[in-house]
C-alpha cells in the first residue's frame, strides 16, 4: 500500500507543469488531489478504498457531516438552513427548484443572463407560471441587467451569479423576498452572505470538487408550501430527512469537496481567496485592455472574476496563438463552442503564476504579430 502511495507522489513530482484554465471540470488544489488519490487506495487507515466502503459507515458519515458543516461555515449560514449533496448536476436543480418552491397558481421570476439561466427557465415553465423579469439576451448576454422591477408576488426570484460561457458576473445581488441562486461557477470564490438567499445550489465540478455532486443549501422554512404530490427523489425534504443518503450519494465527489473546503478554510477562507482571485482577474483584464490583439467581450462593470472571455482582433492569427499557448503548457483556453474566441477560467485553485504565464504569452504574441 505504501509503495503505491509513494509511486503517486513521485509521479506528481516529475509531471510537467500545466497551467489549467479549463472551464469545468476545473482545476483543484494539488494537495487535495494527493489526498484524494491516497484515499482511493487506503481511506481513513481502513486498508480499504474510499470507492468500496459503505456510504453508511461511520467513517463516511463523518465525511458527509463535515462537508455540510464547512458549506454552512463558508457561506455564513445559520441553523435555519439545511445542506444537501445530490446527484444530477445543477441541471437537475433547474427542475427541482420550481418543483419544490413554485406553488400552484404562483409565479416564479427569473433573470436570464446566459445559457444556463435559459435552461433553468425552460424547466420552470414546464412546472408552473414563470416570468422572465430581466434579460441580457438582446446583447448576446454580454452584460448583467440592472434596475429592473421585481414583482412582490413572486414565489421566488432566480438568478445565476456567474456565467461561464459569456464571462459575466453579478456584483450586487438583487433584493427579493425569496432569492434563489445558481452559484455553480463562482461559489466560495468571494464572500457571500448566504442568509440573503432562500436557496443556493452549485455543481461541484467548477470550484469545489470533481463532477458528480451538487450542493444545495436551503432555508428549511420555504419548503412544504406546494400542493403537488412530490416524487421522493425530487423532494428536498426527503433528502434532508435522510442526510443526503436517501439513495447512495456520489461519495468520491463529496469527499473531494470536503478536502477542497478544508483547504480553503485552512488558508484563510473566502476572504483570503477573494483577494487572490481579484488579483488574478485584474492582472489578466489589464493585459486584455492593453494588448492591441485582444478584446474583452463583456461590459467592464460586469466582468467575471472566474471566467475571462476575450477574442482576437485578427481571428486569422488564432492558430498561431494556439501554438504559442501550447508551447507554454497553457491548457483549456478555447472559448465555448457557442461563442468562440478564448476563455480563461480563474478558479480558486489556479495560482497567480499561471495567469502571469498567460499574460507573458499574450505580450510575446503581440510583439511578433502586431
3-class SS at 218? Answer: strand
Q: Which residues contact 150 (CB under 8 A, 6 or more apart)?
A: 109, 133, 157, 174, 175, 176
pLDDT band at 285 (very low <50, low <70, confident <90, very high): very high
Rounded percentage of the chain residues whose pLDDT exceeds 70: 96
Q: What's the whole-number average pLDDT of the chain?
A: 95
> Where along the chain do the CATH 3.40.640.10 domains lie?
50-267
Whether residue 25 is preceded by a cis peptide bond, meaning omega within 30 degrees of 0, is: yes
The per-residue pLDDT for 194 is 97
> Where along the chain do the CATH 3.90.1150.10 domains lie?
269-369
Please say whether the beta carbons of 31 and 263 come within 8 A. yes
C-alpha–C-alpha distance, residues 51 and 252, integer Å: 7
- Find, among 302, 273, 100, 92, the residue nearest to 187 by Cα: 273
C-alpha–C-alpha distance, residues 55 and 60, integer Å: 6
C-alpha–C-alpha distance, residues 147 and 145, integer Å: 7
**What DSSP string describes 82-145?**
EEEEESSHHHHHHHHHHHHH--TT-EEEEEE-SHHHHHHHHHHHHHSEEEEEEE-GGGTT-S--
C-alpha–C-alpha distance, residues 305 and 204, integer Å: 18
Residues 190-231: pLDDT tens digits? 999 999 999 999 999 999 999 999 999 999 999 999 999 999
Q: How far is CA 66 from the centre of its chain?
A: 20
Residues 14-51: pLDDT tens digits? 567 899 999 999 999 999 999 999 999 999 999 999 99
Residues 124-136: pLDDT tens digits? 999 999 999 999 9
pLDDT band at 328 (very low <50, low <70, confident <90, very high): very high
The CATH code that applies to domain 50-267 is 3.40.640.10
**Cα distance between the two ends of the chain:** 55
3-class SS at 362? Answer: helix
Grid coordinates standing for 322? 494556439
C-alpha–C-alpha distance, residues 203 and 209, integer Å: 9
To the question of domain 269-369 being in CATH 3.40.50.720, the answer is no
Residue 365 confidence (pLDDT) above 70:
yes
- Find, among 322, 333, 323, 370, the residue nearest to 355 by Cα: 333
Active site residues: 116, 182, 206
Residue 9 confidence (pLDDT) above 70:
no
Helices (H), ranges, the chain: 2-14, 30-41, 58-74, 89-101, 115-127, 236-241, 251-267, 269-290, 318-327, 352-369
| Global confidence as pTM | 0.94
C-alpha–C-alpha distance, residues 65 and 71, integer Å: 10
Residue 12 confidence (pLDDT) above 60:
no
Amino acid at each position: 500500500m505504501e509503495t503505491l502511495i509513494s509511486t503517486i507522489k513521485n509521479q506528481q513530482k516529475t509531471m510537467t507543469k500545466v497551467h489549467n484554465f479549463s472551464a469545468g471540470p476545473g482545476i483543484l488544489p494539488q494537495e487535495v488531489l494527493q489526498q484524494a488519490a491516497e484515499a482511493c487506495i487506503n481511506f481513513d487507515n481502513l486498508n480499504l478504498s474510499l470507492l468500496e466502503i459503505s456510504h453508511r459507515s461511520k467513517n463516511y458519515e463523518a465525511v458527509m457531516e463535515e462537508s455540510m458543516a464547512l458549506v454552512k461555515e463558508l457561506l455564513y449560514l445559520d441553523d435555519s438552513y439545511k445542506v444537501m449533496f445530490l446527484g444530477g448536476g445543477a441541471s437537475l436543480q433547474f427542475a427541482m427548484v420550481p418543483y419544490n418552491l413554485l406553488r400552484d397558481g404562483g409565479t416564479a421570476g427569473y433573470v436570464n443572463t446566459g445559457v444556463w439561466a435559459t435552461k433553468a427557465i425552460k424547466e420552470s415553465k414546464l412546472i408552473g407560471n414563470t416570468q422572465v423579469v430581466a434579460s441580457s439576451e438582446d446583447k448576446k448576454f454580454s452584460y448583467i441587467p440592472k434596475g429592473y422591477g421585481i414583482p412582490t408576488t413572486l414565489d421566488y426570484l432566480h438568478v445565476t451569479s456567474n456565467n461561464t460561457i459569456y464571462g459575466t458576473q453579478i456584483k450586487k445581488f438583487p433584493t427579493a423576498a425569496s432569492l434563489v441562486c445558481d452559484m455553480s461557477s463562482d461559489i466560495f470564490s468571494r464572500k457571500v452572505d448566504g442568509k440573503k438567499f432562500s436557496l443556493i445550489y452549485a455543481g461541484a465540478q467548477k470550484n469545489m470538487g470533481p463532477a458528480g455532486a451538487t450542493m444545495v443549501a436551503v432555508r428549511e422554512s420555504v419548503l412544504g408550501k406546494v400542493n403537488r404530490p412530490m416524487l421522493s427523489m425530487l423532494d428536498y425534504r426527503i433528502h434532508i430527512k435522510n442526510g443526503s443518503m436517501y439513495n447512495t450519494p456520489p461519495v468520491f465527489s463529496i469527499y473531494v469537496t470536503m478536502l477542497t473546503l478544508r483547504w480553503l478554510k485552512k488558508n484563510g477562507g473566502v476572504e483570503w481567496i477573494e483577494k487572490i482571485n481579484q488579483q488574478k482577474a485584474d492582472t489578466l483584464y489589464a493585459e486584455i485592455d492593453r494588448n492591441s490583439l485582444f478584446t474583452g467581450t463583456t461590459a467592464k462593470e460586469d466582468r467575471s472574476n472566474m471566467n475571462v472571455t476575450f477574442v482576437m482582433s485578427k481571428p486569422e492569427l488564432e492558430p498561431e496563438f494556439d501554438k504559442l499557448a501550447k508551447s507554454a503548457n497553457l491548457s483549456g483556453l478555447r472559448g465555448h463552442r457557442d461563442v468562440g474566441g478564448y476563455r480563461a477560467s480563474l478558479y480558486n485553485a489556479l495560482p497567480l503564476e499561471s495567469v502571469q504565464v498567460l499574460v507573458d504569452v499574450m505580450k510575446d504574441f503581440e510583439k511578433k504579430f502586431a
